[in-house]
Amino acid sequence: MATDNRIHFWRRNPKVPGRLKDAPKVSSVNTKSKKPSTFHEFARSTNDAWDIDDEEDDSVFSLKQLSSSPVQSQYMPQTPRLKIIKTPEDTEPLPPSLDRQEPISTNPSQERLDIERGPANGRVVKSSSDAQLNVNAARNTLQKQQSLPVRPIIPLVARISDQNASGAPLMMVREKTRLDKFKQLLASPNTDLEELRKHSWSGIPREVRPVTWRLLSGYLPANRERRDLVLQRKREEYFGFIEQYYHSRTDENHRDTYRQIHIDIPRTNPLIPLFQQPLVQEVFERILFIWAIRHPASGYVQGINDLVTPFFVVFLSEFVEEDVENFEMASLPLDTQRNIEADSFWCMSKLLDGIQDNYTFAQPGIQIKVKALEELVSRIDEDVHVHFQKCEVEYLQFAFRWMNNLLMRELPLRCTIRLWDTYQAESEGFSHFHLYVCSAFLIKWRKEILSMVDFQSLLMLLQNLPTIHWGNEEVGLLLAEAYRLKYMFADAPSHYKR
- Mean per-residue pLDDT, 339-355: 96
Q: What is the mean pLDDT of the chain?
A: 77
490 pLDDT tier (thresholds 50, 70, 90): confident
Residue with the bigger pLDDT between 141 and 372: it is 372
96 pLDDT tier (thresholds 50, 70, 90): very low
Residue 26, phi then psi, degrees to nearest 5: -115, 125
| Confidence (pLDDT) at 13 | 56
Burial class (CB in 10 A: 0-12, 13-18, 19+), 81: middle
174 pLDDT tier (thresholds 50, 70, 90): confident
471 pLDDT tier (thresholds 50, 70, 90): very high
411 to 156, 169, 293, 398, 406: CA distances (angstroms): 12, 23, 30, 14, 10
Q: Looking at the predicted structure, is the pLDDT value of residue 121 above 50?
A: no
| Confidence (pLDDT) at 343 | 98
Say which range, 84-88, 218-222, 259-263, 390-394, has the weakest mean pLDDT: 84-88
| Confidence (pLDDT) at 41 | 55
In this predicted model, what pLDDT tens digit does every residue of 422-447 receive, in sequence order?
999 998 899 999 999 999 999 999 99
Q: Looking at the predicted structure, is the pLDDT value of residue 2 above 60?
A: no
Q: Is the preceding omega at residue 466 within 30 degrees of 0, hence cis?
A: no
- Mean per-residue pLDDT, 168-195: 86
Q: Looking at the predicted structure, is the pLDDT value of residue 1 above 70?
A: no
120 pLDDT tier (thresholds 50, 70, 90): very low
- Mean per-residue pLDDT, 456-477: 94
Q: Looking at the predicted structure, is the pLDDT value of residue 128 above 90?
A: no
| Confidence (pLDDT) at 322 | 77
Residue 200, phi then psi, degrees to nearest 5: -80, -20
Say which range, 34-48, 179-193, 232-246, 312-326, has the weakest mean pLDDT: 34-48
What's the pTM? 0.68
| Confidence (pLDDT) at 441 | 97
- Mean per-residue pLDDT, 444-463: 95
Q: Looking at the predicted structure, is the pLDDT value of residue 62 above 50?
A: no
Q: Looking at the predicted structure, is the pLDDT value of residue 480 above 90?
A: yes
Cα 409–Cα 413–Cα 416 angle in degrees, nearest 5? 80
| Confidence (pLDDT) at 321 | 82
In this predicted model, what pLDDT tens digit does every residue of 394-405 receive, in sequence order?
999 999 999 999
- The pLDDT > 70 percentage for the chain reads 64
Q: Looking at the predicted structure, is the pLDDT value of residue 197 above 70?
A: yes
